[in-house]
Amino acid sequence: MSADETQGTPLPPEENAGGATGAPGLTVPPSAPPPGPARSRNPLALVVVAVVAAGMLYFGFHMARRSESAARIMKSTPAPDFTLESLNGGNMRLSDLRGKAVVLNFWATWCGPCKIETPWLVELQNQYGSQGLQIVGVESGDDDKEDIAKFVREMGINYPVLLGKEAVGDAYGGIPALPETFFIGRDGKIVDKSLGLHGRDEIEDAIKKALNTEAVKSDASAQIMGDMAREDGPARK
């Protein structure tokens, strides 16, 4: 090989890809421009981004919890128990109503469909109360007690009104809209539920289903019945 072949063919200066010429066959990269001044970051923008990210995480976690709760709230499942403050003072616990058919109605004073539905619930409480029906209203609009009391008076509500809490709403699937109603049998299990305004006849049919369920006997009652059966014993010939 010749010396020229060993060293390669040097590029002409004009073909040196815009770079400076150096050793034969090499292209020297152009020198980098001097660095400009560093850009300062806006601290307010960083705070906004952090707040938005935290909000998205909280919203996602909250919605995941609601989805899990909604998946658990199905027909024939036990109604989640809770204790809430009553508008008239004192507390009410859902499980204390075991043995009755319960209509658990989530509503608010500003809810238009609730204003249509409430008079039906008043009538149905009067009609089926003697058969073991107990309607319970859970105010879920974060209204003042005065506004709630005014609504109760104007509507002539004849059943307990409880002051709702977010945790109770979440336990029942998040309450995506109002009104939302759960129909609970005498055994404490959900027999039906409705979201939004439904006709009076549909509500009455669901109430009848709840009334037609059988109450679960307590352990004490079962023990008494068992003792009575043993005392009677088999019939003697």
d(CA 117, CA 120): 5
DSSP type of residue 141: S
Which residue ranges form the domains of the chain, and what is each CATH number? Answer: 83-216 (3.40.30.10)
Which is nearest to 216 in space by CA: 187, 178, 175?
A: 187
pLDDT digit string, tens, across residues 158-186 = 999 999 999 999 999 999 999 999 999 99
Q: Mind telling me the catalytic residues?
A: 111, 114
Is the entire prediction scored with pTM above 0.75? no
Q: Are 163 and 92 in contact (CB under 8 A)?
A: no
What band does 35 get if pLDDT is binned at 50, 70 and 90? low
pLDDT digit string, tens, across residues 52-67 = 555 455 334 334 344 4
d(CA 216, CA 227): 18
